[in-house]
Amino acid sequence: MKRRSLSSGVALAAILAAGAAFAASRDDNRADPVIGEESAVLTDAPNTPPAIHRDHATKVIVHLEVKEVEGQLADGVRYVFWTFGGHVPGKFIRIREGDEVEFHLDNHPDNKNPHNIDLHAVNGPGGGAAASLTAPGHSSVFSFKALNPGLFVYHCATAPVAMHVGNGMYGLILVEPKGGLPPVDHEYYVMQSDFYTQGKNGEKGLQPFSMEKVIDEKPDYIVFNGSVGSMVGDKALTAKVGETVRLFVGDGGPNVVSSFHAIGQIFDTVYAEGNMSTPTHNVQTTTVPAGGSAIAEFKMSVPGTFILVDHSLVRAFNRGALAQLKVSGPEDKLVYSGKQFDLVYQPEGAGARVAASDRPVTPPPAARNKAERVKLGAEVFANNCQACHQENGLGVPDAFPPLAKSDYLNGDKVRAIKTVTGGLEKPLTVNGKPFNGVMPAWSLSDEDIANVLTYVYSQWDNSGQEVTPQEVNLHRVKAN
Ligand code: HEC
Ligand SMILES: [Cu+2]
């Protein structure tokens, strides 16, 4: 690859000329002849597939495999990630404007959940989600034409979306503009996201996902590339003085927007929101929206360790959104005189956080009779259960069992309390049909669980029995 400094006039002219070309191109892409066929090269973060040098559109075949895998979220903290390709973030996909993509979403047979994919690079309902809902052991195929260039997020959009995205189901797809991107010395893939665990930040062991915290938007971890420390120490990104670096930055959310910043390094060029038609220059911090992206380019002028952060700094220093870029080479005392620094990464840990219990809590009103219980329970159901079991209680075949006329539910009230408070993750049969999914454990109050179960029992010709908070308290599966 020809090396060219981004700060040179030549590069700037190329960027501007290319910018003019990007803007005009969308309609032409419909008519663009598609020549040949190839398989996409997919990479795990922080690596990116090679730049595209084709001067024409082609048919690109993408195979992306969903895998539910246990991995490390932080030092001593394990987590079951739901992934596009085995790691968080998902595989980086790189295509060219005008390409026709034949997309295969493969859901590994060992997985427990149905998944799909919404690619923001797609013009079509759900970004592909509607066409790609795939049960474990199945594969879905759909095709799309890349009409718009840009750096796009993709993510799972299966209900409850906050859970699928919260477990790690997102990645980036780059649609290179026709003229390509200016060559640089290093390209890296960096994606921020937020995680919600039953235990507090730093609590060791296998940590289950917390539906309650994701809904409250209270992340325990905010990280780059799927774990605390994914790019520090010997895993740091690297470059040399005089080299140019391009960061493809994404934010998978599900909730938190990033104020992306490199400590001690100004971004020479930023393609804000991944939109390559309007580069901006000389940027200190760029916003990366949840479900959005940015491309940051810069040239290293001095050696040292540069820290990439979400500049909402508690997220960086207390929750994990911190990476290192180590730059070697000769010093330039004119640009930077020293004293040279090299920060050691030391997570400040759980002790630095204010306990959640310090907050005053207003308890919601308690139901005074069964009718009130049903009414309050309807709300709990809409907020917590409906995404999977559906508004009509019928569930989704092969994925989420029905609550309407469910023999499992109606047959045993205590078992129902245990199911909701403790979760359920073993094969079961409901009305003669087998299910083997994951029902999360709900950290709802006794009152809320009594209300939601009373509501569920009152609906859809179910048994009509009442569940009281006292019964929930007596039979609930206690969190350890
Ligand atoms: C993330 C999707 C999801 C959500 C949200 C969810 N469930 Fe479930 N639920 C499941 C799955 C999957 C199963 C089956 C688990 C298995 O196969 O082991 C299940 C099973 C059940 C069962 C036992 C089987 C049956 O059909 O009777 C009950 C009762 C139940 N859920 C109630 C609830 C209630 C009440 C809520 C809300 C507080 C809720 N669920 C929220 C996915 C979900
Ligand atoms: Cu999913």
Whether 27 has a pLDDT exceeding 80, the answer reads: no
Q: Six-digit token pair at 322? A: 């911190």
pLDDT of res. 138: 93
Neighbours of ion ligand 2 (CB under 5 A): 115, 156, 158, 164, 169
Tell me the per-residue pLDDT of 288-338, one tens digit each, with 9 for 90 and over.
Answer: 999 999 999 999 999 999 999 999 999 999 999 999 999 999 888 888 876
Closest residue by Cα to residue 316 from 345, 295, 274: 345
- Return mean pLDDT, the chain: 89
319, 256 in Cβ contact below 8 A?
A: no
* 59-85 average pLDDT score: 97
CA dihedral 369, 374, 379, 380 (to 10 degrees): 90
208, 111 in Cβ contact below 8 A?
A: no
Secondary structure class of 13 (helix, strand, coil): helix
Number of Cβ within 10 Å of residue 383's Cβ equals 14
| Model pTM score | 0.70
If residue 471 lies in a helix (H) or strand (E), which one and from where to where? helix 469-475
Assign 363 a pLDDT band (cuts: 50, 70, 90).
Answer: low
Q: Flag the least confident range among 47-51, 291-295, 347-351, 437-441.
A: 347-351
Beta-bridge partners for 288: 258
Closest residue by Cα to residue 276 from 169, 150, 141, 181: 150
pLDDT of res. 341: 57
Q: Six-digit token pair at 176? A: 């290179």
Question: Alpha-carbon distance 423 to 180, whole Å?
Answer: 49
| Angle subtended at Cα 154 by Cα 148 and Cα 160, rounded to the nearest 5 degrees | 135
212, 215, 389, best to mutate for ligand 1 pocket (most atoms within 8 Å of CB): 389
pLDDT of res. 362: 57
Domain ranges within the chain, ordered by starting residue: 9-328, 370-475
Whether 358 has a pLDDT exceeding 90, the answer reads: no
* 104-110 average pLDDT score: 95
Residues contacting ligand 1 via CB (< 6 Å)? 160, 163, 384-385, 387-389, 400-403, 406, 408-409, 416, 419-420, 424-426, 428, 430, 435-440, 442, 452, 456
Whether 440 has a pLDDT exceeding 50, the answer reads: yes
* 239-266 average pLDDT score: 97
Beta-bridge partners for 39: 61
* 369-387 average pLDDT score: 89
Whether 354 has a pLDDT exceeding 50, the answer reads: no
CB burial class (10 A; 0-12, 13-18, 19+) of residue 393?
buried
Tell me the per-residue pLDDT of 219-238, one tens digit each, with 9 for 90 and over.
Answer: 999 999 999 999 999 999 99
Task: Pick one of 1.10.760.10, 3.30.70.270, 1.10.1740.10, 3.40.50.620 as the CATH number of 370-475.
Answer: 1.10.760.10
- Between 403 and 12, the higher pLDDT residue: 403
- How far is it between the farthest Cα atoms of the chain? 80
CATH number of 9-328: 2.60.40.420
Number of Cβ within 10 Å of residue 343's Cβ equals 13
Which DSSP symbol is given to 223? E
* 69-87 average pLDDT score: 97
pLDDT of res. 356: 42
Whether 77 has a pLDDT exceeding 90, the answer reads: yes
Secondary structure class of 18 (helix, strand, coil): helix
Assign 437 a pLDDT band (cuts: 50, 70, 90).
Answer: confident
Beta-bridge partners for 37: 59
| Angle subtended at Cα 378 by Cα 452 and Cα 453, rounded to the nearest 5 degrees | 20
Tell me the per-residue pLDDT of 158-167, one tens digit each, with 9 for 90 and over.
Answer: 999 999 999 9
Question: Alpha-carbon distance 279 to 274, whole Å?
Answer: 9
